Amino acid sequence: MAEPQTEPTTPYDASVFEGPRIRKKREVPDGLWMRCPSCEAMLYRKVVTENLEVCPQCEYHFRVGARARVEQLADPDSFEELFADVAPADPLDFQWAGKTYADRLQKEQAKTGNTEAVLTGVAYVKGRRVALGVMDGDFLMGSMGSVLGEKLTRLIEEATRHKLPLIIVCMSGGARMHEGALSLMQMGKTSAALARFDDAGGLYIAVLADPTTGGTTASFAMLGDITLAEPGALIGFAGARVIANTIKQDLPEGFQRAEFLREKGFVDRIVHRKELRSEIARLIDYLKP
């Protein structure tokens, strides 16, 4: 009797029974991308940094920390910091919600690498030697405390002694409530120093960045011989809602923005960040005695 025929066998191929291959998801490091709050475009962070922290799509000016601002304005390796040893204290032993002002200061110093919400020093801007003060919005929102006022006053006096043009980049949330009246006193102190600087024939260029508000606006920010502002910067004293509720009227469109203040004569020029160094150098050449 003949044996039954069998089908020839083939080697087992497991891939026939496997499902679709799943690629391992590539990990993307955090912080590579950011969204523009103005045009909502997704932006590669490195491109924004190379563009001086300005959106390449809509020209929105992002807020910049003090050290990054110094790098943008000063000639390379020309900034010499002054008064770095002047650090804030806690004169009122201020506490709130179980937190202390002293602890908050330590956190802000660790976060920014600065002792206060302002960097002060001398530098060169396109070869022109200047006294440069840059406020840091990353440090307690650039609020004006007693040490910030002290450092700016010393910078103004340094500019007076050495006959240097004075440049202050203002960026502030106003007075620092943790220091009470000591904070408010800085308005008068800085203004008096600027009056003496003006009597000595000094040139003061104020640069208003977003935001410049409160006691900073009511004192040294608006006392420049020339007042420049970045596009779209918020500039004012009291908040818009407070004003609207006080006067019981609707506010004009764009109220407290740099463009509105230029129309009303409070700002001399609005300058794009990429043009700021050149504009400052040009003004020094035209106006320095």
| Other C-beta atoms lying within 10 Å of the C-beta of residue 245 | 10
3-state secondary structure 7-24: CCCCCCCHHHHCCCCCCC
pLDDT at residue 97 in the model: 87
Angle between helices 276-287 and 66-73 (to 10 degrees): 60
How far apart CA 33 and CA 148 sit, in angstroms, is: 33
**For 199-263, where are the E strands, in sequence order?**
204-212, 226-229
- Spatial neighbors of 284 by CB under 8 A, at least 6 apart, are 125, 128, 130, 165, 203, 205
Are 185 and 148 within 8 A, CB to CB?
no
How far apart CA 179 and CA 165 sit, in angstroms, is: 31
DSSP string for 138-153 = TTGGG-B-HHHHHHHH
- Angle 77-80-83 (CA atoms, 0-180°, nearest 5)? 155
Are 66 and 132 within 8 A, CB to CB?
no
Are 221 and 187 within 8 A, CB to CB?
no
Strands 42-44 and 33-35: antiparallel
The rounded Cα 216 to chain-centroid distance in angstroms is: 14
How far apart CA 127 and CA 74 sit, in angstroms, is: 9
DSSP string for 86-129 = -----TT--EETTEEHHHHHHHHHHHHS-SSSEEEEEEEETTEE
- Per-residue pLDDT 10s for the chain (289 aa) are 555 555 555 554 555 445 555 555 555 456 799 999 999 999 999 999 999 999 999 999 999 999 999 999 999 999 999 999 999 999 999 999 889 999 999 999 999 999 999 999 999 999 999 999 999 999 999 999 999 999 999 999 999 999 999 999 999 999 999 999 999 999 999 999 999 999 999 999 999 999 999 999 999 999 999 999 999 999 999 988 999 999 999 999 899 999 999 999 999 999 999 999 999 999 999 998 7
Question: Which domains are seen in the chain, by residue range?
Answer: 31-62 (no CATH), 63-287 (3.90.226.10)
